[in-house]
Amino acid sequence: MNVRKKALAAVAACVLAVPVVAAAGANAKPNYENALVGRWDLTVTIHIEEPPLLTPLFCDFTADYQLHCETKPGYPDQLEGRGVWTAQKDGQFSFWITHHAHRDENGNPVGSINASHLGKISANKKKFTTKAHTYINLNDGTPWQGPVDVEGDAKRI
């Protein structure tokens, strides 16, 4: 079967499944699909040294599946990151984010940190946790660092 026929078959299967899903609506579990939308107070634990580094962030998840995070005011090493997210109906979700690795002597962002998080939002949709692996490119000719284990713990603002 060629690619076009496979794509049409997949679309047809989805169209046929809609009435079944709608009929099951009365017994459906809570939908978490948009549960991440909003502002979150997130603490990221980065296991790159002992003790691990803690980075307190404010993160905004938007309805168009975009993500923007920045270090809370008053903390050193201000980071700003952007990414994308997706969620499942059972509360599991993932997001990918990238931000600069550090600032140079003039305050300019240098390098990049790239992380892929897998998480779960709580049943009350007020907390979530994640686990991630991150890779760091210092843009100085050295090899990328990683994977570095990272964990996130957030509460809705």
* DSSP secondary structure letter of residue 52: P
Structure token digits, residue 135: 């890779």
Report yes or no on 7 lying in a domain. Answer: no
- For the chain of 157 residues, list the mean pLDDT of each consecutive stretch of 10: 41 37 51 88 94 94 96 84 93 93 82 94 95 92 93 97
* CATH code of the domain containing 62: 2.40.160
Task: Please report the pLDDT score of residue 28 as a whole number.
Answer: 55
33 within some domain: no
Beta bridge partners of 24: none
Domains contained in the chain, number: 1
Looking up tokens 């634990």 gives 45
pLDDT of residue 127: 97
What is the helix, strand, coil percentage profile of the chain, to 5? 15, 50, 35
This prediction has a pTM of 0.75
At residue 102, the pLDDT reads 78
